[in-house]
Structure 1
Amino acid sequence: MTQYFDPWSAEFIAHPYDAYAQLREQAPVSYYEPTRQWLISRYQEVSSLLRDRRLGRTYTHRFSHEEFGRTPPDPAHEPFHTLNDNGLLDLEAPDHTRIRRLVSKAFTPRMVAELRPTVQRLADELVSALLKDGGGDLISAVAEPLPVAVIAEMLGVPAADRGLLRPWSAAITGMYELNPTPQAARRAVDASIEFSDYLRALIRERRAAPGADLISALIAAQEDGDRLSEQEMISTCVLLLNAGHEATVNTTGNGWWALFRNPDQLALLRSDVDRHLPTTIEELMRYDTPLQLFERWVLEDIEVAGVRIPRGAEVALLLGSANRDPERFTDPERLDVTRTDNPHLSFGAGIHFCLGAPLARLELTESYGALLRRVPGLSLVREPGWQPGYVIRGLNELLVTA
């Protein structure tokens, strides 16, 4: 039944949801040979496996590559893997537990709350520029600059250097796609080296002269004498940028495109922004999630919906499919900005639930709020096209008039 699943097809990327419905109904657990993964498409199984400790984002804490039946990564990709493998997203206990505990001492709810005026100011500035121009590309004018500016403010990156962050992030996340090309791998390696070197220099500056920024807080974070290593700090900062960029940019672009296609829901939202905005943000993340797929390794034999999956296999948890499962969501194909029963999986679940979820929600709330209140006549110029990536799925552009 995996003929329905074609992650390199432009048609599939533009609308994967019919294929997901076929998978859920006919083959909710199915092996996909091109990527050597088991596709898991129903909410119940996806939610359960996100939390199941018999699976992991890595296996190297328990097995060698050879013991696990896997080929070691290309040595030429080592800079990317050093950066990626020391971040929270790809660690398991006890390393994950230790690093998350230390990072949480620096990246606190209070820090996020104190960022609200900054995020409001940045969103207003970007929307003002869009208004002045009479419209433009909502992706490049608002969606992309906002999370980059916020993380730059958090890290204390000088304004003159902020243009470096977005290209580095885009190149590194290219490695998260299914079967990345050699060219994508090369770009990811180069960006990993450049971004790491830049942050290493910034950390040296903050050690010498601490400030009120996240890097200084990460340097100071400790528990019982334990501190983050330099590499752990670098990987944490890069992950915050990459994950925040993916969630905010694509929820902004995909979400506005969904609202334009559902004018009754956009009108309802505009009728009472304060009331409907919180549920709208969650519904847009459910309806067209920015991260369509999340991979995990099977560390010991498991059975999923009656199908045995052996140790050494990899599962592809289809978050976009789970978020539209009619067994969990009422009328899931309908966009409903008033939906309250909405336990979507767009931020993951279990120990790898997104640490930056509160920040992403803040950015989305201020971005959508500024556009809805200040540009009530925002309208679409033409139907957008999609970027070629499937795992991190978003629009090329979204042209609007203000």
Structure 2
Amino acid sequence: MTGSEQGQTMAQVDTAETGQGGAGRQDTGAGTWRAGIRRAIRIGSRPGPWKRGLVLAVLALLLGLFMLLHARIPNRIGNLGSLVETVLPWLGLFIPVLLAGALWRRSASAVAALLLPVTVWLNLFGGLLSDKSHPGSDLTVASHNVGADNGDPAGTARDLAASGADVLALQELTQQARGTYEKELAKAYPYHTVQGTVGLWSRLPLSDTQPVDTKMDVGPLADTKPVDIKMAYNRALRTTVATNQGPLAVYVAHLGSVRVNPRAGFGTGHRDRGAQALGEAIAAEQNERVVLLGDVNGTMDDRAFDDITSQMRSAQDAAGDGFGFSWPAKFPMVRIDQILVRGVEPESSWVLPATGSDHRPVAAGISW
């Protein structure tokens, strides 16, 4: 090949390489441009913060409405309304869960929707988050379901005597343990009365004691206690305590147990009949100053106690610090041990340390 021919060949190669390089750069530029368009389309089609997390927003609104309208949930199907009202404070736990989901999804709509359940929960229970107690009182009352299967009734009695209560109500007294409580409490409480499974010990004289019929039509604890534990039938009493400020009517009650059954739902028949009978007895009470102490197996949010709460107010709600949960003793999740008053002023309310029972004792200071 001559020098001229070699030069022409190299020129052709250079021209071919230059053409291919230009096309490659053009293809790369076009690909980048198309990728940019696709990215812009994706960004443009991505839902904004108000359109993201709509499911979470709907769940938040439903939760708020569920709490707001709890009184309208019917009891016709498995006492669902009463069951919801029993666990009503715990529904607030869903709020931080939904909030975490809303933040993860960066959903403005879900965060805004959470304002409803937060507002409703605070309206229902916000007042319980602060300490409403006042120092001093004229009388200290306490109540404790001592537990039929309590393995240390003597220790429980000593703990209760050390509480400083002037009036002490006990529920679920067995025939076997009654003597132990009478012996251990005799020094601190010279006056006492026992009616069936409930009793009242007092530093002040008692009079006009009588049982209260709570409409129990079956053995009250037969399905929950060991067969060797014998329980009396009556589960409520009424007596008069002679105070320096005048007579005080005191009711002690242990209402029927409740059961949650997948088929029957929230079984509260015995308890509800007892609550109605107790409400009727208190309505007929002539003394204007009344205190109710007892394990009522329910919270005061439950509509089943409307006959009682329409006449009396909870010492815990009026003068307590926190929710005052009393059951179960190892990890209290609900307050079913109640102190309610009429005609006297609750000054303070608190939960005492656990004993050998599956309930914790509750106490309150009251004034005239």
Shorter-chain TM-score tier: under 0.3
Greater RCO, CA 8 A, separation 6+: 1
Larger helix percent: 1
Q: Which of structures 1 and 2 has the bigger CA Rg?
A: 2
Larger strand percent: 2
